[in-house]
Amino acid sequence: MRVVLLEVARTGATLLLGLFAGGLVFTVLAPSLRSLPGSAYVRYWQALNTDYRRAMPVLLLTCLVLLLATCVASYPRGRLGFWLVVAATLLLVATIALTLTALDPLNQLADSWDADRPPAGWADVRLRWWTLHLVRTAMATLGFVALLIAQVVDRAGG
């Protein structure tokens, strides 16, 4: 039973964290977004906020629950695999904390702007968001990689 729980929870967590990290990486790999004029960028940012505000809480909280279940189920199977899952869990928690405390306030600020007349200094806010987004992307990607390595380690018996 514990093996089934481990497989289901880890597979689900890996899929959700991979989906999330992949979306973040895709944004980083789209440098043309940063060159959009103010009104176009603000419209894009506001549309993205609307979509992500609906989807991300469900995705990330489900992923966190699956990671916690994976921690519990992987504990007796091997030290390295367990600690890699713990690392992935902590990286996701840090990603969520950064999003809620730093990125979401910037998103809310951008949502308050008139897209036809972005405020003075809007580009500075965008730069701050991109910098924080790079940190968030690195943490989520490292968490995803840790889960992939945990899978390999577990299969190898470590």
Tell me the whole-structure pTM to 2 decimals.
0.93
Instruction: For helices 79-98 and 38-74, give the axis angle rounded to 10 degrees.
Output: 150
Distance CA 63, CA 10 (A): 9
* pLDDT tens-digit profile, the chain (158 residues): 678 888 999 999 999 999 999 999 999 998 788 889 999 999 999 999 999 999 999 999 999 999 999 999 988 777 899 999 999 999 999 999 999 999 999 999 999 999 999 999 999 999 999 999 999 999 999 999 999 999 999 887 75
